[in-house]
Amino acid sequence: MKNNGGLIAGFAQTSTIDPLGETFCTFACNPSGGPCDGSNHSCLAFLWRNGVKEPLETLGGNNSAATGVNSRGLVIGTAENNTQDPACMTLQLLDYKAVTWLAGRIHELPAFPGDPIAAAVGVNDSDQVVGGSGNCGSGVGISPIFVHAVLWENGSVADLSSLGGATNNLAMAISNRGHVVGFSDLAGDNTFHAFLWQKGVPMTDLNTLPGDFFSVANAINDEDQVVGQSCDVNMNCRAFLWQRGVMTDLNSLTSPNSPLYLIGAADINTQGEIVGTCLDQSSGEQLAFLAVPCDEEHVGDQGCQDAAQSPIGLQRPKVVLPENIRQQLQHRMPFGRFGVR
């Protein structure tokens, strides 16, 4: 969630070794999905402002993670309590709950009835919070089992339903219009698709790009433009923009002369500017990207001037990603926001 006041929420390892040997921070693990590095440092949520990083408290456990902050300064995320859960897997022993922090004080959000864990992932400027609720896995960002995509408002939690699957349902973002996006399993729980939810309307399946197997919606702006990632069965992923009922490969909107191949879109603002990750095909490096629409507000940008020299809108060939990048994507999926995108 973007904050226009210069506040940044996140999470980082501390110098303290986790007393239970947990590895809560996903970046402490091998990006290929192998064993973690064994450092087992505790991880704490923080709020950064004016050059100072302020640690945020937990619910009595040793770890927490902040995932967003709105214009009012409400921080959202996840924090451990001190309940050891036998359902948790290796590297995770304690339950974790969805929380908010305001003025440094923590507040627990209720999980959906019957669920032991929950995580808050997105928030809008009306303090509506979205995320997931379910069962403990092997740590935030590794494999929690979200049964319900949920919305918190006015002190209560509501299930947003699903696309037919019984598990793997998570709301990732909510616009100021109250429209929610995320991903949800299809019937049979063999794959999941990006979804759009609006109050009073059944959850909409945004589908995938042609030939792909699953998709994730990461963000939505107040114009109902949705961005995310669509992948085939071999984890060859590409960034998408969904608007007015159509999902478009973002690579088809870039200059065909660009060496950058857009892998996943992480966020979009009201001006339609998109950020995410890409592959530099000339070097093999994975980089961050900023994509701006070539409209009246951006026509003078160098990128738009360059793009004007080349035909735009052509379908670019799908790229087979390097093995190391596909392994990283496999490790982070499907719980993208807590993974380091």
pLDDT in tens, 194-203: 999 999 999 9
Mean pLDDT is lowest, of 35-44, 143-152, 211-220, for 35-44
Asked if residue 113 has a cis previous peptide bond (ω within 30° of 0), the answer is no
Q: Where are the domains of the chain?
A: 8-248
Residue 144 is predicted with a pLDDT of 66
Q: Residue 328's pLDDT band (boundaries 50, 70, 90)?
A: confident
Residue 243 is predicted with a pLDDT of 97
Residue 330 is predicted with a pLDDT of 78
Q: Which two tokens stand for residue 199?
A: 């109050």
Q: What b/e sequence results for 103-130 when a residue is b if at least 16 CB atoms lie within 10 Å of its CB, and e otherwise?
A: eeebeebebbeebbbbbbbbbbbeebbb
Sign, Cα dihedral of 62, 52, 335, 341? negative
Nearest alpha carbon to residue 11 among 129, 124, 139: 139
d(CA 49, CA 117): 29
pLDDT at position 331 over 50: yes
Q: Are 16 and 33 in contact (CB under 8 A)?
A: no
Q: What is the pLDDT averaged over residues 286-299?
A: 85
pLDDT at position 33 over 80: no
Nearest alpha carbon to residue 339 among 223, 104, 165, 170: 170
Question: Residue 44 pairs with which residues in a beta bridge?
Answer: 12
Q: Using CB atoms within 10 A of its CB, is residue 237 exposed (0-12), middle (13-18) or buried (19+)? A: buried
Q: What is the pLDDT averaged over residues 164-185?
A: 96
SS3 122: strand
Residue 317 is predicted with a pLDDT of 84
d(CA 24, CA 37): 12
pLDDT at position 89 over 80: no
The DSSP symbol for 36 reads B
d(CA 299, CA 163): 40
Mean pLDDT is lowest, of 130-139, 163-172, 233-242, for 130-139
Q: What is the pLDDT averaged over residues 236-246?
A: 97
pLDDT at position 337 over 60: no
pLDDT in tens, 145-158: 899 999 999 999 99
pLDDT in tens, 2-22: 688 899 999 999 999 999 988
The alpha carbon of 122 is separated from its chain's Cα centroid by a whole number of angstroms, namely 9
Q: Which two tokens stand for residue 238?
A: 């590409």
Rounded to the nearest integer, the mean pLDDT of the chain is: 87
Higher pLDDT, 295 or 317: 317
**Which fold is adopted by the domain 8-248?**
Methylamine Dehydrogenase; Chain H (2.130.10)
Q: Are 11 and 44 in contact (CB under 8 A)?
A: yes
Q: What is the pLDDT averaged over residues 102-128?
A: 96
d(CA 156, CA 143): 25
pLDDT at position 38 over 90: no
Is this model's pTM higher than 0.85 or not? yes
Q: Are 25 and 41 in contact (CB under 8 A)?
A: yes
Q: What is the pLDDT averaged over residues 89-108?
A: 91
Q: What is the pLDDT averaged over residues 48-59?
A: 94
pLDDT in tens, 294-315: 877 766 666 666 655 555 556 6
Whose structure tokens read 């991880």? 43
Higher pLDDT, 291 or 35: 291
Residue 309 is predicted with a pLDDT of 55
Q: Please state whether 140 falls in left (phi above 0), alpha (psi between -120 and 50) or beta.
A: beta
